[in-house]
Structure 1
């Protein structure tokens, strides 16, 4: 079985940057192809035609100098500043300058074409000193001399340089335009991502606009249909839960009354107590199923004090005979669902009472951008590694078999509520023995990542 292909790390991550890179590459490629076509199919023939005309002019000059009487020919060569030999700084094929590539390319094309069009006894050399000059050997009074001739405008590259600068400017303009267009296209995608996060958090966002590009509008319409379907499913679930609660609890209440009427007080107290215990067990199981189905999604977050909530629960458990040590850290007020978080702490504290029994402690503190609350005990029961498995619904440990009334949903409810807030539930073996259940909740509600809450 082949491993899944890993994404190429050199590729940009966002769609915007990928499209911009693609656009820039395509524009650069088209500009390179256009420039290549311009040089080879427009500029090169133009230079070669100019070299043919220039070669005719040089041959005509050579013929005139050769036809003159020797004295007149030498005098004419002197007036043209002729030399017996070519300057030492001249060369048959000058080097190409990377900084002046187009100008030197045209110069080389011109020199090669001119050398091809002139006779073999009329070599060409190029001098590059303070000024650039073309030296050609001609014949005056029967002797070879070197004269410098003016260059034509076709041998210069000012037009090509201007064209290249214009092409670069157009490429930058095209890249900027593509960037602005992509930003316009990414805006509805960002709105879609924000709406999806709000749906995951249990909110009901406003319908997305569907008047954009066809593809984006189609996605927005599909998302709006999905949110409508989720709203209908949520309404159906709420109605079903209300119906289940009513339809089951009503006969339970009637059964309690029937038992009380059928068995008067004092006739069979043990049977009455056993029957009522079974009924309470059924009612507890029903409530846990409803708690797991709800898990606080419909509750709106409110800014509150987690220390105050933990202190209230510690006081209530102390009143029931279960003493918890409380260590409060410096926590600022932040947004959370108070009823859901209370359910988290109550479930964990109840587990500590039932399975830990001793060394009960609640501790709060701040860790970066998270508010942390730990419920600790000194019990010798289940290990932290096994409790991670028990966060799955309907999972129960071996030591839970001796305790009735549970459905294996308690830790699943805690885990689901923590994820609904963008937080987490973890377990750690406590130093010195026992267990620590750690709940992390983000202090900044904008950093919530509630998408996992509906797993």
Structure 2
């Protein structure tokens, strides 16, 4: 048997099963220890009544006995039971059958063997009749007698209805309680996904049940620790950047003042290049530390941003072919998203070199930007592994000035906008990096 996956469905299924077992046990106790003795006592009293009637009919003169039995609908022929009506067995009919069998068994046990009993059952709405053979002036005759309420299903329908209503009420109450317990768990799962996506959710309420409140409090402590660690990291990197850039600036100035005119230009150019690489590395660390969390999102035209960056790269000698789709306005962090696109386009220039292109399109819920190239370098599957901070591919070994944070920065910015970054092979060869951004307002 396959159990439901959700905790709510499992608890409701368990509750319904427990209620069903409880109702079955209650019904068994009701029938065996309450209803059955009641029916048997009624059968004993009815048997005494029948035996007394038989004695009176046997002692009366034949004429008077015949008159009395005629009023009771007596007949000498054996009664023929009417066939029961067709139809599905209902709980009430099953109970009536059980009750009738118990009554007849007890009645036959208390009556003499020469006084057989038959229960004539007709249609469901027809009257049921009990036939007993008595002795009328030495001649056997069948008479029908009225039934007591104990031999019928009186009151059981109300009991079954009440029992069913209580079972449904218990199941409904359990469902509402479980929904109440599941709500903080759903909030916790949603907050955990937000943290995984680079966002810091609002503190979870801790006023629920003790166990869930403890979990929520522990989660709030964890997010506070992550927030403090993030702030400490940004502060540390900002301090390192400032402390290193200050002597770098002084070093540039000292070199410019110390090197006379006509010095080794190659040495000067190499030194300037090394200083630029150090400055670029520091900037990448700062970009990774910030990633735009404090930048508020605002409505913007993503296609306009793509055109602007493409024009900037064209001015540097790197032409990107544009394929602009119809994008609705969406909320994004302009500086962060510009940094994302610049990193992807720079990677395409450095590692792809040829077939540079950017295309945009949208569906009902998501806007897409793809940065494409025709390079034959690292594959899409390996690039997925390079999203981790400080991871660098083999083809990046010969490129200086990198830290392995470029794709990590792009990944963080995409997730900050509620989107994703994926790599896939490009039709006709090469690679394309696809950024998916939801069309809802960014958090």
Q: Give the alignment of 1:73-92 within 5 angstroms.
A: 73-89=65-81
Deviations 1:145-193 (A, max 9, x none): 1111110111121211111111112222223333333344344444444
Q: Give the alignment of 1:40-79 within 5 angstroms.
A: 40-79=32-71
Which stretch has the larger CA shift, 344-353 or 22-31?
22-31
1:318 aligns with 2:291: no
Q: Contact 1:358–1:378 at 8 Å: present in 2 too?
A: yes
Runs of 5+ unmatched residues, structure 2: none
Deviations 1:172-216 (A, max 9, x none): 222333333334434444444454455455555444443333223
Deviations 1:362-382 (A, max 9, x none): 111113422111122233434
Q: Give the alignment of 1:136-151 within 5 angstroms.
A: 136-151=132-147
CA distance in 1, matches of 2:273, 2:193: 44
From the superposition, tell whether residues 39 and 231 of structure 1 become closer, same or farther in structure 2 (CA, over 3 Å): same
Which stretch has the larger CA shift, 407-416 or 346-355?
407-416
CA distance in 1, matches of 2:246, 2:209: 55
CA distance in 2, matches of 1:75, 1:186: 76
- Secondary structure of the equivalent of 1:158? coil
Instruction: Write out the 4+ residue segments of structure 1 that deviate beyond 6 Å after TM superposition.
Output: none
Instruction: Indicate the residue corresponding to 1:287 in structure 2.
Output: 283
Instruction: Indicate the residue corresponding to 2:100 in structure 1.
Output: 107
Q: Contact 1:102–1:161 at 8 Å: present in 2 too?
A: no
Q: Give the alignment of 1:127-142 within 5 angstroms.
A: 127-129=120-122, 130-142=126-138
Instruction: Indicate the residue corresponding to 1:360 in structure 2.
Output: 356
Shift of 1:344: 1.7
Shift of 1:303: 2.3
From the superposition, tell whether residues 412 and 196 of structure 1 become closer, same or farther in structure 2 (CA, over 3 Å): closer
Q: Give the alignment of 1:241-260 within 5 angstroms.
A: 241-260=237-256
Which stretch has the larger CA shift, 76-85 or 158-167?
76-85
Identify which of 90, 93, 108 aligns with 1:98.
Answer: 90
Runs of 5+ unmatched residues, structure 1: 1-7, 449-455
From the superposition, tell whether residues 235 and 225 of structure 1 become closer, same or farther in structure 2 (CA, over 3 Å): same
Identify which of 113, 124, 128 aligns with 1:120.
Answer: 113
1:35 aligns with 2:31: no
From the superposition, tell whether residues 279 and 299 of structure 1 become closer, same or farther in structure 2 (CA, over 3 Å): same
From the superposition, tell whether residues 391 and 191 of structure 1 become closer, same or farther in structure 2 (CA, over 3 Å): closer
Which stretch has the larger CA shift, 187-196 or 138-147?
187-196
1:433 aligns with 2:424: no
Instruction: Indicate the residue corresponding to 1:270 in structure 2.
Output: 266
1:169 aligns with 2:169: no
CA distance in 2, matches of 1:140, 1:312: 117
Q: Give the alignment of 1:394-433 within 5 angstroms.
A: 394-433=390-429
Identify which of 332, 342, 348 aligns with 1:346.
Answer: 342
From the superposition, tell whether residues 289 and 96 of structure 1 become closer, same or farther in structure 2 (CA, over 3 Å): closer
